[in-house]
Amino acid sequence: MTYFLQQLINGLQLGFVYALIALGYTMVYGIVRLINFAHGDVFMVGAYLGFFALASWGLPFPLAIVVAMVGCAALGVFIERVAYKPLRNAPRISALITAMGVSLFIENFTNLNFVFGPTPRAFPRPFAVRTFGLGGVEITNVQLIVFGVAILLMVGLSLFVGRTRTGRAMRAVSQDRDTARLMGINVDTVISITFGIGSALAGAGGVLYGIAYPQIQPMMGIMPGLKAFVAAVLGGIGIIPGAMLGSLIMGVVETFTSAYVSSTLRDAVAFGILILVLLVRPTGLLGKSHSDKV
Amino acid sequence: MRTDGARRRPEPGTIAVIVAVGGFVLLQALMWLGVLNPYWQQVLNLAGITLISALGLNLIYGYTGQFSLGHAAFYGVGAYASALLTRSLGPGAGTLLLGIVAGAALAALVAFLIGLPILRLRSDYLAIATLGFGIIMKVLLDNSDAVIPMMGGSSGMSGIARLTTFPWVFAFGLAAVLVMRNLVFSSVGRALVSVREDELAAEAVGIDTTRYKTLGFVIGCGYAGVAGALYAHLYAYLNPFSFDFLKSIDVLLVVVLGGLGSISGTLVAAIAWTFLLEGLRVALPASVQDWRMVIYPLVMIVFMLFRPGGIFARTEFGFLKPRARRGKE
């Protein structure tokens, strides 16, 4: 039982990191119907920005998160403007292929020696790791920080989307872009803001990933990115609470697979869930189903 | 399509076969004379194998409109199945042929079993499901040694006989092009294209869309199986790493560059792309080799932004077109 609870905590730690990535996927998909494959790489850039902020510039930890968030937001908006905006009315698959191209470009460009380089780097811990006992179960201050920051950002996002004018505009654009435009909403700006916010969350996720699993390298975004996407589909793509729920489930299932079955099979289980969800309930756990219209 | 002037020419397919055989004799002569060294022979074989695999993906995505990101998984199935067969039965031309057939059949069978449920999904959902399947397949190959020790798991499978030679690749490449040409211009091909253009409308005029989607997917994956079998016996070593997600994107890139729904496009792009990548490897100094992998996605993005139809944009070389008939089109 103690082992079970311990693994549950480890799973939630992974799940919260996935959640921060999955939110960006789901928001972007909700608004432009695009699987932004480059999102996992934005997460990677966030981890590196956090690394430089802590190791090279000696900034305090909260400021490192802010640096990563701002940098990633700028990167996300830039990618959207340059690569996706011209394809907004093209077939969806063209945009998808472009997204894969952007993803490969970021990975291979940052892999060059004069950028980040292919050698993995150790992520600095800005504080000593402390462990608290809780009825036999151990929880570290790193895990508490991951939980805290992630929950804080998610609450902030919910308030932003639910309570502000911009948030309302985002919801309007995701329901019906053309009608939203007729209501006087600047759709291009809203899309850019969505990319910016989603990328900022991924950037924060990158820094949290860095302190939780302290080794970073340019290809580190591929798998977490894909799994966060699976989590977004699991929860119901386009639905913000769905992405959070799906991510926590994914993180826990993956950790349990490693703990109880085999760590080599955990990717297969993650993507097995994806295929199962798509077949049984393609709209996800929290989604509403609708059929094709002519 | 223009019909004037086309009547007096001989059957375009005949010219194609003559040109192809001529090309084969020329290339074979160059190899005998030592003008084409073993390295470039290998590249030529690889181009042919890429062509076969890409033709399969073009059938699935370019003609039938079903976006698959798991093509390399079927390529891997064909490779491992044929390698197991030739290692068990002993090397030889007969077992290689049997291995290719078995590789294609197994890839097609797996495609059928996977395709039946997942082809119900549309566009990007299908993409992500096939991607997931590809990753699952790689994990299974990584752990394959637990079931069949000969497959070697993540350390790779060695001891495969080096049986693939240029005549083999050429014969299968030529057959692949001709079969594809006859398929896409047949009534079945028309049905596949109608599924791509508008599934709902196709269904309304009585086309069993599920059946044709599955058919296109199974044949396309069978092509991947043939390519995989040839690949296995070209390099004599298999590693699950060669059949991952990136490999699927490689093939997709060839199809997209050449033009979706164009056999000529895939033909040109498969050969040109393979030679370009290898050529850059030889031409560029070691210090900038890494840039190849940076240029590669940029080409992909630039094409999608400025020429989404690819080089050929659904047109074909004359010899790959059906004979023009009067009164039609």
Tens of pLDDT, residues A24-81? 999 998 888 888 999 999 999 999 999 999 999 999 999 999 999 999 999 999 999 9
ipTM of this predicted structure: 0.85
Asked if pLDDT for residue A294 goes beyond 50, the answer is no
Asked if pLDDT for residue B40 goes beyond 90, the answer is no
State the pLDDT at residue A104: 92
In this prediction, residue B251 has a pLDDT band, given cuts at 50, 70 and 90, of: very high
B252 touches chain A (CB under 8 A): yes
Which residues does chain B have within 8 Å of residue A92's beta carbon, measured at their own beta carbons?
Answer: 123-124
State the average pLDDT for chain B. 86
Interface test with A, best of B140, B305, B307 (most A CBs within 10 A): B305
HEC per residue, chain B: CCCCCCCCCCCHHHHHHHHHHHHHHHHHHHHHHCCCCHHHHHHHHHHHHHHHHHHHHHHHHHHCCCCCCCHHHHHHHHHHHHHHHHHHHCCCHHHHHHHHHHHHHHHHHHHHHHHHHHCCCCHHHHHHHHHHHHHHHHHHHHCHHHCCHHHCHHHCECCCCCCCCHHHHHHHHHHHHHHHHHHHCCHHHHHHHHHHHCHHHHHHCCCCHHHHHHHHHHHHHHHHHHHHHHHHHHHCCECHHHHCHHHHHHHHHHHHHHCCCCHHHHHHHHHHHHHHHHHHHHHCCHHHHHHHHHHHHHHHHHHHHHCCCCCCCCCCCHHHCCCCCCCCC
B117 touches chain A (CB under 8 A): yes
Of these ranges, A137-141, A213-217, B119-123, B217-221, the one predicted with the greatest mean pLDDT is B217-221
Asked if pLDDT for residue B15 goes beyond 90, the answer is no
State the pLDDT at residue B328: 44
State the average pLDDT for chain A. 90
Residues 74-133 of A with CB under 8 A from B: 83, 86-87, 90-98, 100-105, 108-109, 111-113
A9 touches chain B (CB under 8 A): no
Task: Estimate the crossing angle of helix B38-57 against helix B245-258, to 10 degrees.
Answer: 80
Which residues does chain A have within 8 Å of residue B293's beta carbon, measured at their own beta carbons?
Answer: 104, 108, 111
In this prediction, residue B175 has a pLDDT band, given cuts at 50, 70 and 90, of: very high
Asked if pLDDT for residue B315 goes beyond 80, the answer is no
**What domains can be seen in chain B, in order of their start residue?**
11-325 (1.10.3470)
Which residues does chain B have within 8 Å of residue A103's beta carbon, measured at their own beta carbons?
Answer: 297
Which residues does chain A have within 8 Å of residue B128's beta carbon, measured at their own beta carbons?
Answer: 35, 229-230, 233, 274, 278
Q: Which residues touch B127 (CB under 8 Å, ≥6 apart)?
A: A35, A93, A96, B67, B68, B69
Over residues B296-314, the pLDDT tens digits come to: 888 888 888 888 878 887 7
Relative to beta strand A137-140, strand A131-134 is antiparallel
Sole residue written with tokens 């969806």: A92
Of A264, A271, A279, Cβ closest to residue B135: A271
| pTM check: above 0.95 | no
What is the distance in angstroms between the Cα of A234 and the nearest Cα belonging to chain B? 12
CA-to-CA separations, B209 to A216, A282, B56, B219, B312, in angstroms, rounded = 46, 20, 19, 15, 27
Of A95, A230, A265, Cβ closest to residue B139: A265
Of B118, B294, B304, Cβ closest to residue A98: B304
**One-letter identity of residue B106:** L
Per-residue DSSP letter, A280: H
From the number of C-beta atoms within 10 Å of its C-beta (0-12, 13-18, 19+), residue A135 rates as: exposed
Q: A40-44, B41-45, B60-64, B321-325 — which is least confidently predicted? A: B321-325
Q: Which residues touch B246 (CB under 8 Å, ≥6 apart)?
A: A104
Rounded-to-integer distance, Cα A270 and Cα B163, Å:
38
